[in-house]
């Protein structure tokens, strides 16, 4: 039986990918997220980090389209998301992590203000807010990632948590 709580969570995940809110997940949502992250952290699109972010965003889109865009119209509608992406990725969260990792890696490089190779809880919260999370959800999620409470979050923890969040265990 499919619970209404499960449906609600699916709708939230879909909205998270549908960054421009037009009812479809498509390439524009991923490039738009990349642009918003660059603006938030004052990084240019032409910089090495900016280029890496756009390459990661395109790879993320291509990976998601390969899994979910059944009719090949270059858009993932809600039905394709629920019956393609969510079901397949739930069975294989490692695949989702592999698809998302280049984008997440590049995003964390951009968010890493002092360039020491790790990001602070505050920086992760800023990334999540730019990607559409409400401030309270972003801050709670960022703090939860910092399991040992040292104020910093490792990339692997973020990739795993991101995969778990978007693959929506029932
Ligand atoms: Ca969209
Ligand atoms: Ca489609």
End-to-end CA distance of the chain: 10
Q: Give 56-96 pLDDT, tens digit per residue.
A: 999 999 999 999 999 999 999 999 998 887 777 778 878 88
**pLDDT value at residue 55:** 98
**pLDDT value at residue 84:** 81
Let me know: does 13 contact 100? Beta carbons within 8 Å. no
- Residue 108: partners with Cβ closer than 8 Å, 6 or more residues away: 119, 127, 155, 158
Q: Give 89-135 pLDDT, tens digit per residue.
A: 778 878 888 899 999 999 999 999 888 878 999 999 999 899 888 88
Query: Of how many residues is the chain composed?
Result: 170
What secondary structure, in 3-state letters, does 92-138 show? CHHHHHHHHHHHHHHHHHHHCCCCCCCEEHHHHHHHHHHCCCCHHHH
Closest CA to 143 of 156, 130, 126, 124: 124
**pLDDT value at residue 149:** 86
CA of 68 to the centre of ligand 1 (A): 15
Ligand number nearest CA of 14 is 1
CA of 15 to the centre of ligand 1 (A): 9
**pLDDT value at residue 169:** 57
Confidence of residue 139 (pLDDT cuts 50, 70, 90): confident
CA of 151 to the centre of ligand 1 (A): 33
**pLDDT value at residue 167:** 67
> What pTM value is reported for the model?
0.87
pLDDT (average), residues 140-153? 86
Q: Give 9-28 pLDDT, tens digit per residue.
A: 888 888 889 999 999 999 99
CA of 77 to the centre of ligand 2 (A): 6
Q: Identify the CATH class of 4-167.
A: mainly alpha
CA of 68 to the centre of ligand 2 (A): 7
Report CA-CA distances (Å) from 33 to 17, 37, 83, 90, 99. 9, 6, 24, 23, 16
CA of 73 to the centre of ligand 1 (A): 13
**pLDDT value at residue 18:** 94
Decide if pLDDT at 162 tops 80: no
CA of 112 to the centre of ligand 2 (A): 35
CA of 59 to the centre of ligand 2 (A): 17
- Residue 86: partners with Cβ closer than 8 Å, 6 or more residues away: 10, 13, 167, 168
């Amino acid at each position: 039986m499919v619970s209404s709580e499960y449906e609600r969570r699916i709708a939230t995940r879909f909205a998270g990918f549908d960054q421009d809110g037009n009812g479809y997940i498509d390439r524009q949502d991923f490039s738009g997220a990349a642009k918003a992250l660059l603006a938030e952290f004052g990084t240019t699109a032409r910089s090495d980090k900016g280029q890496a972010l756009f390459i990661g965003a395109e790879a993320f889109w291509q990976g998601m389209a390969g899994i979910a865009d059944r009719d090949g119209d270059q858009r993932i509608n809600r039905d394709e998301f629920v019956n393609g992406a969510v079901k397949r990725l739930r069975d294989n969260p490692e695949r989702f992590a592999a698809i998302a990792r280049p984008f997440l890696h590049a995003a964390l490089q951009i968010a890493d203000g002092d360039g020491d190779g790790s990001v602070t809880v505050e920086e992760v919260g800023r990334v999540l807010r730019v990607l559409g999370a409400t401030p309270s959800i972003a801050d709670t999620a960022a703090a939860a990632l910092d399991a040992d409470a040292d104020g910093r979050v490792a990339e692997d923890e973020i990739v795993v948590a991101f995969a778990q969040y978007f693959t929506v265990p029932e």
